[in-house]
Structure 1
């Protein structure tokens, strides 16, 4: 079996994209490898192919639960065994999954970086036959990057557990400084770095300083064929802009992280299948969305960094056909972005106060809570303690950095049930408690393997089979749980807060002040870069590539700046030609203004008059009553 056989067998391709084969070969040679590839460049194949060729299991670390779940499903559809361990899974579920990785034939184990904080996970990884460690979104390990995630700093511990296993770090957005930091933080040895140019020749980058953004957006959505994404700042805007587009006769829907998962999946699917032309979304939309024929991506507001902008813009034109990337801004946006920066850095005292409120919210005693993973309702928490949600979330990020807590993203997990009693004890219970007999029979008939592990169940399906409501089913399951007949975990669609350390009082809460100050400066420089990109009259593609250290990038010729420059050059050429024609005609004889304009065969009347006026001002041409002469 070769890498080309694997590519053909599982993905149906007969050749690799540029750099993919080089990266795969580097990994197969046992080299630590950093792959810098633009969004849509085929990063996942770079670890999936070599992991399938070698015996053992590949550990994939990703911060995006939705992306992990998508990749696991895609691998399973190809007949490849893969699992993901994500927040919200019970200890027994995690236990069984890790056992399958040690003793079974699982090829890919997807983990969030927060999971590596768990001793249980680290100990079990030690017993796995690991062939490769893949770190997705590797820029998250660098505090100089735009999306730093403190739990990523523990990834080097995987190297200590499996010192001879190569690491492949992948990212679509990294400056030179971030790329170097990734290699240092992961303890790379004899590193191989592969950098695919971030240039996207098929993308036309356009920037408009606009007060009436919606009018211009309507024009783009109507005139550009194919589907598009419109990114906005907040959830309220997603609904409003989608409504305005619909009123203009443009098929549109909205998407944000506050929607429940089934509805998000439905909206996402309708857009992916081109049943909806435009999806209006917050930055929660897009990761793992592999839609090749997106013809336009519009940002109605200034993003917070060029890294985020490049990644979101990169969802356009993955089929390598022409697509448009549009950024709107005005003076108000620039001020808002600068004010927002100040809002994102609560004081050390505020951070300590929010930690104190979290302890009270969950009623944790001092010294308690270590390892607890609890559902977190931000709106309820902020309402109870009269806090600003935006500042609270950013305070939590600083608490994550100092490893007091970790907040995972929203994830949908179905309800799960496992029968705890043996079959003999369960039969005895059914005889002694006949009221539960029929329910247990239907439960056992409906879900196989329910004695061995937590199995996904649908309360509504059980309700239909038994002719009772979903709420009654939940009550029965909860009752059976209190009787210790089953373990029942009800479905959840909320983020989880993990207490990494026992609760401490605020006087012993140590917040890294230096890090707080450094992050502020990094963030400030990122905001200055995105503002500079918007206001400078320099090729947009060249500006982006220079930011990512491609210092000799050519002008693209298709951005708004390049197009304006082409017009100016063309206009200058036309002016020179008109001047020559006027001088030629007047050298023969004086002409009336009407005759002079008629003998010029380029330019419109206004342009002709402007050139004649210019020659008069310079004294090259004179006028005597009605006639012009040299």
Structure 2
């Protein structure tokens, strides 16, 4: 048993790696810059956690997903592995303490959000750390052609220059070939080194169902496909409405969205994971870091804005390798909404500048100041005060983020934290002299470890329950101890955050470069068109459509999707049907032909040929022109 298998068995209890994992681990262990393209559920995190544990030093993990960051840190800690996270919600004092612990060996994995990379303190202290690996999760965010480009990711190149001998592992679940090349270039790979798992999911049946009455269709599907399910919707209100619809019809269900209290989210996720609830109805906030293997069904009530997002979310079904279904309910309204989303996602430039100007005034940031500062941001109050449309503001902030002026962290929920700032001997003297605080301090020390070396997240409700008092009593204890300089206490808060990545500019100097606005708008339009084609093209295997989008050409039809099932109704095998379809399209792409001319060229059985031709005419791919010749009317 080599060291990697030993670590896998010791910490995760597995005897063997999944396909591609060990290849990536070995590449990283050999000191090579590596990119791993692994679809959702492929076990990406193990590809950096295992080699990092096998080597002396600390692994720096860069990820924009704060919820996933917290989940992985907690998961590693539960295995006895030292891990910590730095993101926009932490105070400067917390960050200082944490970075010092990293330097002196108190941390094995440091998860960090990309906007923190550019800070002077991080760049200074990382050079003092024994970094063995730089892992970049959601690596598509560094590419300007990625569907979720983030300018803060470009700072990774600076970190690479500070750590020239440290290998980098870039990981993403969804990327086109253009994005893969861009990632390697921007991460300063010494040479291209891609490990790619096929996007093909043999056990996953993709279905597009034309549905004007989506509620009834959902009930039909849920009743037809047994087992655990996820239903994705576009907004928070719908999560509740659809969950109530399912419950009303005797199906155990619960809603889930980012705006819920963390305790409620954790409870609902656990009940679903444990099988107490069959269906979770959620926005796209649900899924990151979720690894429930036996999901039999994922239903999208509304079309997503990209096939990357759809592929990731649909891919949460059938991770156990057994048959599962990914269903998109499609209507004409989806096409209208997707087209309209272009102007919503890319407001006019004048509106974006107006949002930037109002933002500085709202946060009371003077022109020329604010660089590196983090501000709590009440989006609803901002829109009300300046009489601006919420979606216009939201998307303007995202574009200003892409342009490199700000970072916008959506609704972040931060736990209360405590750090003892007096020595143990002095704390004992304090307890003797202040009997009223003694039992509470003992409860804190019994409940949490590491309080003297770092800020530790605490649960005030749990402490109140253990002490048999109201939560406010716990809060008052913490405030008083903070005032007496026994502890440093950071109360729980839930808020979006704005970070100024440059000093505030006069809005007339704000530049939305071509690659930030015009080029990205054109790319967004292409992505929207790809989703519309996926929802409306009914003559190409669904799996093939997705594989083509991600640059995987060729391959056989899946034989299971709604399109393949439709082909089977002609009584031809999927392979025979597909071969004839490709031949017909190839011949007619060159020139229109009469029925007999085409039949002779194909040298096929007339009965088989007629069945495929009728099918192509039904789906408006081929038609007869005024001259009586067959021609292509829609490019497949």
Is the pair's TM-score, using the shorter chain for normalization, greater than 0.5?
Answer: yes
**After superposition, where does 1:403-422 map in structure 2 within 5 Å?**
403-420=404-421
| Kept in 2: contact 1:261–1:411 (CA 8 A) | no
Structure 2 SS opposite 1:515: coil
Q: Deviation at 1:439? A: 4.5
The corresponding residue for 1:589 is none
Q: 1:439 to 1:104 in 2, by over 3 A?
A: farther
Query: 1:427 & 1:508 partners in 2: Cα distance?
Result: 58
Give the match for residue 149 of structure 1.
150
- 2:187 maps to what in 1? 186
Deviation at 1:346, TM superposition (A): 1.4
The answer on whether the counterparts of 1:293 and 1:316 sit within 8 Å (CA) in structure 2 is yes
The residue number in structure 1 matching 2:86 is: 85
- By how many angstroms is 1:450 displaced? 4.5
For the 8 Å contact 1:348–1:513, the answer to whether it is kept is no
C-alpha contact (below 8 Å) 2:431/2:438 kept by paired residues: no
- Contact kept, 8 Å, 1:442 with 1:462, in 2: the verdict is no
**Which deviates the most, 187-196 or 494-503?**
494-503
Distance in 2, matches of 1:84 and 1:476, equals 27
Q: Does 1:261 align with 2:272?
A: no
CA contact (8 A) 1:27 1:33 kept: yes
Residue 134 of structure 2: aligned partner: 133
Query: Per-residue CA shift, 1:533-553, capped at 9, x if unaligned?
Result: 111121000110011111112
Write the deviation string for residues 323-366 of structure 1: whole angstroms up to 9, x where unpaired.
01101111111011110111111122212211222222222233
- Does the aligned pair in 1 maintain the 2:8–2:15 contact within 8 Å? yes
Decide which moves more: 474-483 or 244-253: 474-483
The equivalent position to 1:447 in structure 2, one of 439, 444, 449, is 444
Partner of 1:274: 275
- Which of these two proteins has the greater Rg computed from alpha carbons? 1
Distance 1:460 1:322 in 2: 42
TM-score by length of 2: 0.85
**Structure 1 residues 270, 468: closer, same or farther in 2, change over 3 A?**
closer
Matched, 1:569 2:566: no
- Supply the distance in 1 between the matched residues of 2:75 and 2:427 (Cα, whole angstroms): 38
How many residues get paired?
Answer: 568
Aligned to 2:577: none
User: How far apart are residue 479 of structure 1 and its match?
Assistant: 5.5
| 8 Å Cα contact 1:245/1:251 also seen in 2 | yes
User: Residues 535-554 of structure 1 correspond to what in structure 2 (within 5 A)?
Assistant: 535-536=536-537, 537-554=539-556
**1:278-337 Cα deviation digits (max 9, x unpaired):** 111111110110000000000111111111110100000000000011011111110111
Moved more, 512-521 or 24-33: 512-521
Residue 322 of structure 1 corresponds to 323
1: CA distance between counterparts of 2:252 and 2:18?
Answer: 34
Matched-pair contact (CA < 8 Å) for 1:444–1:450: no
Gap runs ≥5 in structure 2: 575-636
Report how far residue 478 of structure 1 moved: 4.0
Instruction: Map 1:367-446 onto structure 2 (within 5 A).
Output: 367-420=368-421, 437-446=434-443
- CA pair 156-470 structure 1, distance change in 2 beyond 3 A: same
1:139-288 correspondence runs (5 A): 139-288=140-289
Seen in structure 2, the aligned counterparts of structure 1 residues 542 and 460 have a Cα distance that, compared at 3 Å, is: closer
**SS of aligned partner of 1:140:** helix
Tell me the CA shift for residue 429 of structure 1.
Answer: 8.5
In structure 1, what is the Cα distance between the partners aligned to 2:27 and 2:422? 51
8 Å Cα contact 2:414/2:493 also seen in 1: yes
Tell me how far 1:460 sits from its aligned partner: 4.4
CA distance in 2, matches of 1:8, 1:48: 13
* Mapping for residues 601-620 of structure 1, pairs under 5 Å: none
Shift in alpha-carbon separation, 1:421–1:357, aligned structure 2, 3 A: farther
CA RMSD of aligned residues (A): 2.4
SS in 2 for 1:215: helix
CA change 1:86–1:377 in 2 (3 A) is same
CA distance in 1, matches of 2:409, 2:165: 30
Partner of 1:325, secondary structure, is: strand
Distance across 1 between alignment mates of 2:466 and 2:320: 47
Could you say if the C-alpha distance between residues 15 and 354 of structure 1 is closer, same or farther in structure 2, counting changes exceeding 3 Å? same
Return closer, same or farther for 1:103/1:451 CA change in 2, 3 Å cut-off. closer
State whether residues 103 and 128 of structure 2, in contact with CA within 8 Å, keep that contact through their aligned partners in structure 1: yes
Alpha-carbon distance, 1:463 to partner: 5.4
Q: Which residue of 2 aligns with 1:56?
A: 57
Separation in structure 1 between the aligned mates of residue 464 and residue 331 of structure 2, nearest angstrom: 55
Secondary structure (helix, strand or coil) at the match of 1:408 reads strand
Pairing 1:4-15 to 2, within 5 Å after superposition: 4-15=5-16
Change (3 A) 1:14 1:424: closer
Change (3 A) 1:442 1:495: farther
1:374: how far off? 2.2
Aligned to 2:296, the other structure's residue is in SS state: strand
Residue 348 of structure 2 corresponds to 347
TM-score using structure 1 length: 0.85
Q: How far apart are 1:93 and its partner, in Å?
A: 1.6
CA deviation after TM superposition for structure 1 residue 63, in Å = 1.1
Aligned to 1:305: 306
Stretch deviating more after TM superposition (350-359 or 483-492): 483-492
Structure 1 equivalent of residue 526 of structure 2 = 525
What is the aligned partner in structure 2 of residue 605 from structure 1?
none
Query: Which stretch of the first structure deviates more once superposed, 188-197 or 437-446?
Result: 437-446
Deviations 1:119-158 (A, max 9, x none): 1112111111111111111111112111112211111112
Offset of 1:557 from its aligned partner? 0.1
SS of the counterpart of 2:216? helix
Q: CA deviation at 1:191?
A: 2.3
SS at match of 1:324: strand
Task: Give me the whole-angstrom Cα distance separating, in 2, the residues matched to 1:569 and 1:351.
Answer: 56
Deviation at residue 419 of structure 1 after TM alignment: 4.5
Matches within 5 A, 1:33-72: 33-72=34-73
Deviation at 1:65, TM superposition (A): 1.1
* Structure 1 portions without partners, runs of 5+: 573-630
Provide the rounded CA distance (Å) in 2 between the counterparts of 1:544 and 1:458.
44
Secondary structure of residue in 2 paired with 1:100: helix
- Match in the other structure for 2:31: 30
Query: Is the CA contact (8 Å cut-off) linking 2:149 and 2:402 kept in structure 1?
Result: no
Q: CA deviation at 1:556?
A: 0.2
